Amino acid sequence: MKYSVRESDIETVIKAITELLDGVRRNEPAIRYEVYRVRETNSFIHYMSFPDEQAEQIHKDASYMHHFTETVHPLCTDKPTFTDLDKIEGMTGGEYE
């Protein structure tokens, strides 16, 4: 997921991200969830990887995910965009397995 917010909302967004990641760490140890701020911008990218569709649905239904969405999405300067990725087998971290 990628989104941008106004400079004045950065601290609110970072707090919401911190709370989201805390919920993910405590309740969803099987998923990979990373968040990046695009250098020198007000844009953020969330990278998530789920072991299966059930894990993805659990994440979507989680209260901390709903809280994040309700807090951050109204602050976005444009609608957040989502991109589904297909893993290229045999490639991890830029090195061959």
Cα 90 to chain center, whole Å? 24
Q: Sketch the domain layout of the chain as residue ranges.
A: 2-84
Q: Cα 71 from chain centroid?
A: 14
Mean pLDDT for 6-32 is 97
Confidence of residue 95 (pLDDT cuts 50, 70, 90): low
How large is the average pLDDT for residues 8-24? 98
CB contact at 8 A, 1 and 82: yes
Give pLDDT, residue 94: 60
Q: How confident is the model at residue 93 (pLDDT cuts 50, 70, 90)?
A: low
Is residue 38 left, alpha or beta, with left meaning phi > 0 and alpha meaning psi from -120 to 50? beta
Gap between the Cα atoms of 14 and 79, Å rounded:
18
pLDDT in tens, 40-88: 999 999 999 999 999 999 999 999 999 999 999 999 999 999 999 888 8
Task: Give the domain 2-84 fold.
Answer: Alpha-Beta Plaits (3.30.70)
Quick one: pLDDT at residue 89?
Answer: 80
- Residue 49 token pair: 């990887």
Q: What is the pTM of this model?
A: 0.86
Give the residue among 15, 10, 20 at the shortest CA–CA distance from 41. 10
Q: How many residues does the chain have?
A: 97
Spell out the long-range contacts of 85-88 with Cβ–Cβ below 8 A and sequence spacing 24 or more. none
